[in-house]
Amino acid sequence: MPPSPHVEKHFTATEVVRDIVIGMSDGLTVPFALAAGISGAVASARIIVVAGLAEIAAGSIAMGLGGYLAAKTDAEHYAAEREREIRETVELPDVETEEVAKVFREYGLSDAQMAPVVQAICGNQTNWVDFMMRFELGLEAPDPRRANRSAVTIAASYVVGGLIPLAPYMALSDVISGLRFSVVITIVALGVFGFVKSSFTGISPWKGALQTVITGGIAAAAAFGLARLVS
């Protein structure tokens, strides 16, 4: 079943945007919160930069590879379920025909009304299996290029996001000045990111901006408080 151009566009845009959002929201938040957190416990901006860069390396790779494996797993899960459905149309055709009928029954169709449709769908194995995958299991065929693209998009977004809060500690050797500038530019960056992100998901941009700023703030405050407490 070839998806209509409308649906395909809809999904591709969503997935790339989602990957950027996944990478950048954590990239802006966690290195910022970590640097702010340990600035309450260590006196050297150098250690903060080292820890921050180590976090960006670890976080971007972990999230990028995580995205790669998630996309691969989705593809393998889809292939395994599809194999199962193909087998079932051969071994249990009555059960599978009834499952097609069940989908239409949920829309209030009588057996007489749906009979020609059910017969047409089950008369062609490819259509039959496609129908079961999408309408019984709710699974869409994954894009085979998604795994690599997803990994690179997430990791790059994390690195870009993470370098923003860390830049002041690199430029200024004083921890307190670094922390102040880091707080200001990260709040601005989180706000802009939240604002732009919202335009893709259809929620209010100002609400989106506020949400990301608050998320980053809570994470940083918790990291700061915990680091103070244990040091």
Sign of the dihedral through C-alpha 5, 7, 10, 16: negative
Please report whether residue 109 would count as binding a second copy according to CB under 8 A.
yes
Please report whether residue 29 would count as binding a second copy according to CB under 8 A.
yes
Site for a second copy in 176-215 (CB under 8 A): 201-203, 211-212, 215
Backbone angles phi, psi at 83, to 5 degrees: -55, -45
Kindly tell me the burial class for residue 200, based on how many C-beta atoms sit within 10 Å of its own C-beta (0-12, 13-18, 19 or more).
Answer: middle
Pick 77 or 176: Cβ nearer a second copy: 77
Query: Which single residue is written with the structure tokens 């989908």?
Result: 103
Binding test (CB under 8 A) with a second copy, winner from 132, 133, 189, 227: 227
Nearest approach, Cβ of 174 to a second copy (angstroms)? 18
Pick 73 or 173: Cβ nearer a second copy: 73
CA 128 from centroid of its chain's CA atoms: 31
Please report whether residue 5 would count as binding a second copy according to CB under 8 A.
no
Please report whether residue 230 would count as binding a second copy according to CB under 8 A.
yes
How far is 70 from 142, CA to CA, in rounded Å?
11
Binding test (CB under 8 A) with a second copy, winner from 16, 17, 62, 167: 62
Please report whether residue 165 would count as binding a second copy according to CB under 8 A.
no
Taking CB under 8 A as the binding criterion, the range among 28-36, 86-94, 142-150, 178-186 that sits at the site for a second copy is 28-36
How far is 38 from 47, CA to CA, in rounded Å?
9
How far is 92 from 88, CA to CA, in rounded Å?
5
Nearest approach, Cβ of 56 to a second copy (angstroms)? 8
